Amino acid sequence: MARQRTPEGPPPPPAVQKLRIRYAKRGRLRFSSTRDFSRALERALRRAGVPMAFSAGFHPHPLISYANAAPTGTASEAEYLEIRLAERVAPEAVRDALDEALPDGLDVLEVREAAPGALADRLEASEWEVRLRGVRPPQVEPALAAYLALERAETTRVVKSGPRTFDTREPVLDLRVAGVGEDGCAILRMVVRHTTPSVRPDDILTALRAVTGLAPPVPPLVTRLAQGPLRPDRAGVADPLATDEEVVGPEG
């Protein structure tokens, strides 16, 4: 008689180290989705030989947690994730090996030993850059003023459960023309608090269009510049990994 099979051999070695990783999504790889990235990361970890800790069971998977990934089509200089390892390693060496194993455009910027507490809790807000291709600053400034004068500016986006309508105005802490591109286009900078559902730059632009009629001729280029704990002046964010370094101290 056959019995229920259970995995043979010892359970997988326990995790002994937790690393937090900041990476960038650049150039044409901004078109990669969260799932695309996670597949690429798992393969890169294997190629680089990072001694990952695995879950138990018939289908062990490497212990990786993702936090608040930027949507497909959006570039980012500040994406975060956490990995757990079965052997202690030097974070700098992991940074180099992993960056080399990932395709160009998915670039590992920083690897730090994790401090206690959840990474997700530290990602309170994001700073975004939006290049409005084909729109000049004088066209956009009055529209921003009109939007910022509002108390609420609703938009509707189709999410997994269907269309959902939500306010975009309240989470916007800062919104201004921060520069002009080489082609003369307006470059916006936004500071947006993380909410549920999350308000993304394209939601804000959709609301802006509904309120002011501002419609760029080509889709804008959106880049997340930073995410982290909100600074006390609410005009930007601090480094979410910085505290880790302080807590872990010089012996890390």
Partner 1 sequence: MPGESVFPALEPLLEQVSKPIQYVGGELNSTVKPWEVAGDETVRWALMYPDAYEVGVPNQGVMILYEVLNERPDALAERTYAVWPDLEALMREHGVPQFTVDGHRPVGDFDVFGLSFSTELGYTNMLTALDLAGIPLHAADRDDSHPVVVAGGHAAFNPEPVAHFLDAAIIGDGEEAVLAVTDIVGDWKREGRPGGREELLLRLARTGGVYVPRFYDVTYLPDGRIQRVAPNRPGVPWRVSKHTVMDLDAWPYPKQPLVPLAESVHERMSVEIFRGCTRGCRFCQAGMITRPVRERSITGIGEMVEQGLAATGFEEVGLLSLSSADHSEIADVTKGLADRYEGTNTGLSLPSTRVDAFNIDLANELTRNGRRSGLTFAPEGGSERIRKVINKMVSEEDLIRTVAAAYGAGWRQVKLYFMCGLPTETDEDVLQIAELAKKVIETGREVSGRRDIRCTVSIGGFVPKPHTPFQWAAQLGADETDARLEKLRDAIRSDKRYGRSIGFRYHDGKPGVVEGLLSRGDRRVGRVIEAVWRGGGRFDGWSEHFSYDRWVAAAEQALDDEPVDLAWYTTREREESEVLPWDHIDSGLDKEWLWQDWLDALDETEVEDCRWTPCFDCGVCPQMGTEIEIGPTGKTLLPLTVLGSGRERMAEHAH
Interface residues with partner 1 (CB under 8 A)? 1-5, 7-9, 28-29, 31-33, 35-37, 39-40, 42-51, 54, 58-60, 72-73, 87-90, 92-94, 97, 101, 103-105, 133, 218-219
94 or 173: CB nearest partner 1: 94
104 or 121: CB nearest partner 1: 104
CA 249 centroid distance within chain = 26
Q: To the nearest whole angstrom, how small is the minimum distance from the Cβ of residue 219 to partner 1?
A: 4
- Residue 135 DSSP one-character state: -
82 or 124: CB nearest partner 1: 82
133 or 194: CB nearest partner 1: 133
| Nearest residue to 189 via CA among 241, 124, 238, 237 | 237
Q: To the nearest whole angstrom, how small is the minimum distance from the Cβ of residue 39 to partner 1?
A: 7
Contacts of 169 (CB under 8 A, 6+ apart): 147, 150, 151, 152, 153, 207
CA 194 centroid distance within chain = 11
Q: To the nearest whole angstrom, how small is the minimum distance from the Cβ of residue 31 to partner 1?
A: 4
135 or 237: CB nearest partner 1: 135
- Exposure pattern of 169-208 as b/e (b: 16+ CB <10 Å)? bebbbbbebeeeeeeebbbbbbbbbeeeebbbbbbbbbbb
Q: To the nearest whole angstrom, how small is the minimum distance from the Cβ of residue 201 to partner 1?
A: 13
Q: To the nearest whole angstrom, how small is the minimum distance from the Cβ of residue 2 to partner 1?
A: 5
